[in-house]
Structure 1
Amino acid sequence: MAIVVVLVGSWLGYQQLADNDCSGQIRLNVAAATEIAPAVDRAAQQWSSNGAEVNGTCVAVTVTGVNPAAMASTIALKHGVTLTGLGAASKSGTIPDVWIADSTTWLMRLRSEASGFVPTDGKSIATSPVVVAMPEPVAQSVGWPDRKLGWGDLLKRMTTGNSLRTGIVNPTRDAAGLAGLLALGSSAGGGPQAKAQQVAALRALAAGSSSLRDDLMQKFPRSTDAADLASAVSAAPLSEEDVVAYNAEKPVVPLAALYLNPQPPSLDYPFAVMPEVDLTKSAAATGLREALQQPGFKDELAKVGLRAPDGTVGVGFASPIGAPKATPAATGAPTGTEGTAAAGLDAGSINQALGSWAAITLPGRALAVFDVSGSMKTKVPTAGNLSRAEVTRRAASQGLALFDDQWAVGTWIFSTEMDGKKPYKQIVPITPLTSGRSQLQASIGSIVPKDGGDTGLYDTALAAYKSVQDTWQAGRVNSVLLFTDGVNENKDGISRQTLINELKKTADPKRPVRMVIIGIGTGVDRNELEAITNATNAGGVFIAPDPAKISDIFLEAISSRSGAR
């Protein structure tokens, strides 16, 4: 009987190969976001059974459901970088031939840290709008489904009164959470009052954040009891698919999906072929992606609560109340190797949002070192002719307000001969913000240019690095944040080579210190600054050619965990 079974199976296999007119096998490994993996797998197996081949060689596809954060962490590890909030990946993790993350923002974050990460293709194969999920009784209390709300309305409700208990999946680990964070940030506008409102909203989100999407979903109310509704999460940015999947379980309190204006970046499921893939597998990947663009795949997507890339839906899609028939097309042009979520976004705006989040949620220690050389008197036309020093003071004040009480911060200033022959001077030692916030806020007033002062960059950078390392604390990000608008001009100081040698000698992998240098204006020398940060193996250089943009660059610097920009 066993022999007969083997012979029959072999014959059927031979017949299938003969019918398909291909031989051999190309194994294509696909890692897909867990919610889309079943649809991709069904379409891939159908494609294979219909004779998938490359130059006469059969193609076999294996589809594995993988959390995008876990895969991003694995890819980052292979490129020798890390992403904010992800931590270290398992060294045993493997990179697939094709990665279908839930959002292009993952590709953008990886590329901003690892210049060698250049995937190809990147066409969107599905989409899911990012919505604000609310328990239906709560949504009805704010006018749903008749009233159309905006992100500005949500921001106001979050920062006035206690009518909403907001939640979010950690935006460093979740693309829908990141999209919601970006939408809230853009709705705040500019100016000190708007910044304060934005900080208040971020703190409210952070208080109700979850590391995992499943954890957040458990925080929605399980009954219509008034106490349960009042204590549970009442608003959270999630994907439309999340709401569809939640309601499919027939909960006592269903979720409403609020499609707020302006529309945040949708989850766009880019089909990314990894850089290491050879030409044969790349051709097989192209064939699979074309199979996923066939009309029948839309119905497979509908089964898992997702839309086609153009926003239309297939048969059986469980459309939430008030859902658009098709999601509006994204504005702006994608970058070529990325999906539709790239439109209107860049790595800078993403890193600024994540920098704000990191300052509020991640414990850290930072020594902020400010240039007060004479050139800091230079006027900035784009900032109402304020001086560079005045613009820097504003940025420092806003940054300090953003930092959570989990942080400890110190301030130095530097030029030449600030403390005897020393080019630097301590204003406030690294102090916990729980006790020293007012003192540190007052210290910002010391950022005043010194008449005739030059830039004692090298000695200051070395002293600041050693100071942070001497007081290093485990479990925190230990950083030097150095702001300068010029090149080293200290005839009595150490040379560049001496600085680099000393930094290399001092750097300790067991006590890492991030050396982050923020260049102000066009008078800095990027090569000089990168030589300094490269010697420490941690940190990077961030240049603000327009000093009026220092605040944005500062947030990017806080977000970055490796590499120079």
Structure 2
Amino acid sequence: MRSRLRGAGAAAAATALVLVVAGSWVGYRKLAGSSCSGRIELSVTAAPEIQPAIKATADKWVADGAAVDKTCVAVTVTAAEPVDVAAAVASKHGVTLSGVGQASGTTVTPDVWVPDSSTWLLRLKSGGATAFAPANSASIARSPVVLAMPEPVATRFGWPDKKLTWTDLLRQVTSSKPLRAGIVEPTQDAAGLSGLLALSAAASGTGRAGSPQAQEATIGALRQLATNRSSLRQDLLARFPRSSDPSAIAAGLSAAALSEEDVLAYNSTKPPVPLAALYLDPAPMPLDYPFAVLPGIEPVKASAAKVLFEALSTAHFRNRLATQSLRGPDGSWGEGFQAPHGAPSPASGGTSAPVGQGGTAGLDPATIEKATSTWSVVTQSGRMLAVIDVSGSMRSKVAAANGATRLQVTVAAANQGLQLFDDSWSIGLWTFSTNLDGPLDYRQIVPIKPLSSNRNALRQGLASVKPSNGNTGLYDTMLAAYKKVQEDWEPGKVNSIVLFTDGKNEDDNGITHKELLAQLKKLRDPEQPIQVIIIGIGNDVSKAELEPITAITGGRPFVTADPTKIGEIFLQAIALRPPASR
């Protein structure tokens, strides 16, 4: 859990908020009266570091007689990690976020959510929560994302006089003697995600976007970061040197993407080795603390939330933010804010963004999805059987792929995906059609073995894949593949099947859909789960045929009419895997 490292915010939370009869705050006076009846209970959940400032403001508003249309307002402001609320919201809307996991069941979705970053809102929307359309979502605070370094290490890099770039960091992270850089799990932490996006962008700049050079640089950087990753921010902070002894500094963590507020909170504890905040170019996406009124709340609550937002838009609230080491939404700071050494002046515009747009204005949700999916695939281990349809219809040409066939596009995507997996993965390869190997609809090309000894065989196997003249023997193949993966099920890894197909089952001599489902139910062992992912290509695939299969086994069917998208879908599919069973 993310927790504050200092107690100064507690004293500041008790400071009275002076009301000004000016600007948007007039809206409050128009709605509030000297007396009220009834009760509107507004629940607000905020990131832990901003919760004290919001609570102090809300408490003052309630103490002064908060009301909407003569109805009294009570506001409860609780602190919760954004990843926990995101999991609860995702569960409510029936979607899964890469790397987030299942909701704990103890976190309740509030009326108003103030996460640390708008990226949570973007990820929920792009993840499939189509009904998730929060109102407002304007930023109420800001904290730039910086590269945190122990001061002695930062000094060696020219801090505070020299301005570093993310390309400089990439070079250090991937050198023969790499910098000990770490990261908070970017699928669960907004500052970690911001750093990941910035470093990935720097890696993409090493070659043409999507080129082998760019992919190699990205994979190398992510694997280096993964060696010092942590799912808990406090755990990562504990890895910074706790002694000024040179050997302790050399053995400790040397760099991590954190928020400015994190650095200030850490240094407020007077550690033996303070952290320097390096503001790298180009400036990464900041934490922007959106005020998100969640969909489905009652109109009277929405009205109360609107007035509360006005109270959080005043100079007085900005001063409360300063006591929490947070800036105002435009990047400027209130009274008492102690800016880190070398922090850009708000007047320079270096930390500013248009008020109300948040820190993600113009950010493509697909970029976030690709970054989190790539991270998940590159940094996890698994055991997988890839099964590729080689039926006659896979000869069809794909106009968007310069005339390459469906099979060629599929093999190219598999080859590209192979580069993402490290040697700890175990992967095998089958092809299928009808009567492909005597009476069998499937053929083993490469057995499931660790990539440490199997990588070249898989490359050669993929190069040998050719289309047949047969039909689509989907059901017999799926059952045989499930039995094969179950046969040598490996603990500690996600055991999975990824099957690529462009059609429905067309094997009149094989088992039926009903028989397949019945046998899978019988074979399924909750103690040894096998995730089945089916990637359907083209317009002839029946999602209704595939969904009952993955509903039994665990997994999900992905169907695209555009075969050129299967590389992206493959990445998303692998990233959505459940935690490994042990």
Task: Give the TM-score taking structure 2 as reference length.
Answer: 0.83
2:417 match: 399
Alignment partners' CA distance in 1, 2:434 and 2:484: 19
- Residue 266 of structure 2 is matched in structure 1 by 246
- Of 548, 556, 565 in structure 1, the residue corresponding to residue 572 of structure 2 is 556
When residues 462 and 96 of structure 1 are mapped into structure 2, their CA distance, relative to the original with a 3 A threshold, is same
Residue in 2 that maps onto 1:4: none
1:260 matched residue in structure 2: 280
Aligned to 2:433: 415
Residue in 2 that maps onto 1:157 = 172
1:526, 1:541 within 8 Å by CA — same for their partners in 2? Answer: no
Offset at residue 155 of structure 1 (A): 1.4
Equivalent positions of 1:8-19 (< 5 A) are: none
In structure 2, the CA distance between the partners of 1:355 and 1:503, relative to structure 1 (3 Å rule), is: same
CA distance, structure 2, for counterparts of residue 256 and residue 379 of structure 1: 56
Contact 1:479 1:516 in 2 (8 A): yes
Name the SS of the counterpart of 1:176 in structure 2.
helix
Q: Which runs of 5+ in 2 are unaligned?
A: 1-31, 205-209
Alignment partner, residue 14 of structure 1:
none
Q: Select which of 283, 298, 320 maps to 2:303.
A: 283
Counterpart amino acid of residue 345 in structure 1:
D
SS in 1 for 2:280: coil
CA distance in 2, matches of 1:252, 1:43: 35
3-state DSSP of counterpart to 2:449 = strand
1:295 paired with 2:295, answer no
1:274 aligns with 2:294: yes
C-alpha contact 2:503 2:542 (8 A) present in aligned 1 = no
Could you say which residue in structure 2 is the equivalent of 1:344?
363
* Equivalent position of 1:228 in the other structure: 248
Moved more, 522-531 or 165-174: 522-531
Offset at 1:468?
3.0
**209-218 or 416-425, which deviates more:** 416-425
The equivalent residue for 1:3 is none
Deviations 1:464-520, CA, capped at 9 Å, x for gaps: 234334544454323221122344444444455554555556555554432222234
One-letter code aligned to 1:536: I
RMSD: 3.0
Q: Which amino acid aligns with 1:132?
A: L
Residues in 1 aligned to 2:413 and 2:352: alpha-carbon distance in whole angstroms: 35
Q: Give the match for residue 437 of structure 1.
A: 455
Q: Deviations over 1:202-259 (max 9, x none)?
A: 1100101112111111112234433222221111111121122223333343322222
Deviation at 1:267, TM superposition (A): 1.5
The count of aligned residue pairs is 537
Map 1:526-541 to 2 at 5 A: 527-528=543-544, 530-533=546-549, 535-536=551-552, 538-541=554-557
Asked if 1 retains the 8 angstrom alpha-carbon contact of 2:434 and 2:441, the reply is yes
- In the alignment, which residue of structure 2 is the partner of 1:468? 485
Q: Alignment partner for residue 117 of structure 2, among 103, 106, 121?
A: 103
Tell whether the 8 Å contact from 1:126 to 1:306 is kept in structure 2 after alignment: yes
User: Does the aligned pair in 1 maintain the 2:427–2:449 contact within 8 Å?
Assistant: yes
Q: Which amino acid aligns with 1:93?
A: T
Indicate the residue corresponding to 1:456 in structure 2.
473
Which one-letter code corresponds to 1:417 in the other structure? Answer: N
Change (3 A) 1:386 1:202: same
Call closer, same or farther: CA 1:41–1:400 in 2, change over 3 Å.
Answer: same
- The alignment partner of 2:224 has SS state of helix
Say which SS state the counterpart of residue 320 (structure 2) adopts.
helix
223-232 vs 375-384, greater mean Cα deviation? 375-384
Counterpart in the other structure of 2:5: none
Verify the 8 A CA contact 1:73 1:88 in the aligned structure 2.
Answer: yes
Alpha-carbon separation, structure 2, partners of 1:449 and 1:261: 49
Give the one of 185, 191, 203 matched to 1:170. 185
Rounded Cα–Cα distance in structure 2 between residues aligned with 1:128 and 1:495: 58
Can you give the 5+ residue segments of structure 1 that lack an aligned partner in the other structure? 1-17
Q: Which moved more, 1:524-533 or 1:481-490?
A: 524-533
Shift of the alpha carbon at 1:169?
0.6
Q: Which residue of 2 aligns with 1:20?
A: 34
Output the CA distance in 2 between the equivalents of 1:500 and 1:289: 52
Query: Structure 2 CA distance, aligned partners of 1:469 and 1:78?
Result: 32
Greater shift, 76-85 or 30-39, is seen at 76-85
Question: Retained in 1: the 8 A contact 2:179–2:254?
Answer: yes
Contact 2:533 2:550 in 1 (8 A): no
1:125 aligns with 2:146: no
Picking from 65, 69, 77, the partner of 1:63 is 77
1:24-64 CA deviation, whole Å, 9 max, x = no partner? 33222221111111111111112222332122121121211
Worse-superposed segment, 86-95 or 167-176: 86-95
For the residues of structure 2 that align with 1:301 and 1:237, how far apart are their CA atoms? 21
CA contact (8 A) 1:500 1:531 kept: no
1:183 corresponds to: 198
User: Match for 1:91 among 91, 105, 110?
Assistant: 105
Q: 1:149 to 1:43 in 2, by over 3 A?
A: same
Equivalent AA in structure 1 for residue 500 of structure 2: F
Deviates more, 1:226-235 or 1:353-362: 353-362
